[in-house]
Chains A and B, each alone.
Chain A
Amino acid sequence: VLTQSPATLSLSPGERATLSCRASQSVTGFLAWYQQKPGQSPRLLIYDASNRATGIPARFSGSGSGTDFTLTISHLEPEDFAVYYCQKRSRNWPPSITFGQGTRLEIK
């Protein structure tokens, strides 16, 4: 199980956002982060805990290992307000894919 906190985060543009994802057991595979805006598909931001996906701005960073992971957005832009999901996957088959319940990042 992946537990994300907080459920909702209210911040202003220019502030720093810190989103948490905690696993019930140590993640031995990899962990990814996705952004989803209303009416859109999720978009990959971070894979393998700390690697930015192609085209993702440097203000997005991921960190963590074991059971505790963090997505940080260093300086919020208006387009960053969205829902964020973490996802874990095992490195082997079956993939054992699990998602967190999401964190809604809203404008304060």
Chain B
Amino acid sequence: EVQLLESGGGLVQPGGSLRLSCGASGFTFSTYAMTWVRQAPGKGLEWVSSIGSSGGSTYYADSVRGRFTISRDNSKDTLYLQMNSLRAEDTAVYYCAKDSLQGLDWGQGTLVTVSS
């Protein structure tokens, strides 16, 4: 069974930084692309970033490019999202997901609140 456990969310001031982690189990992590998706309070789903299985290729939404960095450590079965220069509009639940042509498998999410 695929299990994804996000951590690292919390309250941060505008302009601050936060690093999210996502621990994976139940599948061969190093063979799958991974994705971050976020959901602002009361809103829909927004794709944020994806990374290839080896970590050599990354892809970002325009809204976060240049501020967020996705990475992975295949030796630790862990996905990361480094978030810098945070804005109020980045407030959301952040989900990590295993990405395949059979759809996305989701973690439970971690809440990031950007507020002074």
Where the two chains meet, the residues of A that have a C-beta atom closer than 8 Å to any C-beta of B are 30, 32, 34, 41-44, 46-48, 51, 53, 85, 87, 89, 91, 93-95, 97-102
- Which residues in B have their C-beta under 8 angstroms from that of A46? 103
- Whether B26 is near chain A, meaning CB under 8 Å from some CB there, is no
Tally A-B pairs: CB < 8 A.
Answer: 65
Report yes or no: A93 in contact with B57, Cβ–Cβ below 8 A: yes
Closest 9 CB pairs of A and B: A47-B103, A94-B59, A41-B106, A97-B47, A44-B103, A99-B45, A32-B103, A102-B44, A101-B44
Whole-angstrom CA separation of A41 from B39 in the bound complex: 10
Of the four ranges (under 10, 10 to 19, 20 to 34, 35 or more), the interface on chain B belongs to 20 to 34
- Which residues in B have their C-beta under 8 angstroms from that of A87? 45, 103-104
Looking at A47, A94, A97, A102, which has the most chain B CB atoms within 10 Å of its CB? Answer: A97
- Whether B35 is near chain A, meaning CB under 8 Å from some CB there, is yes
- Which residues in A have their C-beta under 8 angstroms from that of B50? 94-95, 97
Q: Which of B94-108 contact A (CB under 8 A)?
A: 95, 99, 101-108
- The smallest C-beta distance from B102 to any residue of chain A, in angstroms, reads 5
Report yes or no: B47 in contact with A99, Cβ–Cβ below 8 A: yes
